[in-house]
Amino acid sequence: MTPTTNAGNAGKIDPRFRGELCRYAMSLGDDSLVLGQRLGEWCGHAPTLEIDLFLANIALDLVGQATLLLDYAGACEGNGRDADRIAFHRDVLDFTNCLLVEQPNGDFGRTIARQFLFSNFQLLLFQALSNSTDATLAAIARKAAKEVAYHARVASEWMVRLGDGTEESATRVRDGLDWSWRFVDELFEAPDAALIESGIAVDPAGFRAEFDARVDAVLRDAGLARPPGRRPILGGRNGHHSEHLGPLLAQMQFLPRTYPDARW
Partner 1 sequence: MHAGNVERIRALLDHVPDPEIPVISIVELGIVRDVTVADHGGGAVVLTTTYTGCPATFAIESAVRTALDQAGFKDVAITRRLDPPWSTDWISDAGREKLREYGIAPPPHSTSLREHATPACPQCGSTQTEELSRFGSTPCKALWRCLACAEPFDHFKCH
Q: Is residue 143 within the footprint of partner 1 (CB under 8 A)?
A: yes
Q: Which of 17, 24, 42, 54 binds partner 1 (CB under 8 A)?
A: 54
Query: Crossing angle for the helix pair 18-40 and 245-258, nearest 10 degrees?
Result: 100
Q: Which of 61, 121, 125, 129 binds partner 1 (CB under 8 A)?
A: 61
Cβ atoms 197, 133 nearer than 8 A: no
Q: What is the DSSP string of 139-158?
A: HHHHHHHHHHHHHHHHHHHH
Site for partner 1 in 18-37 (CB under 8 A): 36
Cβ atoms 115, 151 nearer than 8 A: yes
Can you tell me the distance from the alpha carbon of 121 to that of 92, in angstroms, rounded to the nearest whole number? 24
Q: Which of 44, 50, 79, 228 binds partner 1 (CB under 8 A)?
A: 50
Binding mask 102-141 for partner 1 (x = CB under 8 A): ---------------------------------x--xxx-
Pick from 98, 67, 99, 101: nearest CA to 85: 67
- Coil/strand/helix, residue 12: coil
Cβ atoms 98, 31 nearer than 8 A: yes
CB of 212 to partner 1, least distance (A): 24
Binding region for partner 1 (CB under 8 A) out of 121-129, 144-152, 218-226, 228-236: 144-152
- Coil/strand/helix, residue 76: helix
Q: Is residue 63 within the footprint of partner 1 (CB under 8 A)?
A: yes
Q: Is residue 84 within the footprint of partner 1 (CB under 8 A)?
A: no
Q: Is residue 253 within the footprint of partner 1 (CB under 8 A)?
A: no
Q: Is residue 44 within the footprint of partner 1 (CB under 8 A)?
A: no
Q: Please report, as ranges, the residues that interact with partner 1 according to CB under 8 A.
A: 2-9, 36, 50, 53-54, 56-65, 67-68, 135, 138-140, 142-144, 146-147, 150, 153-154
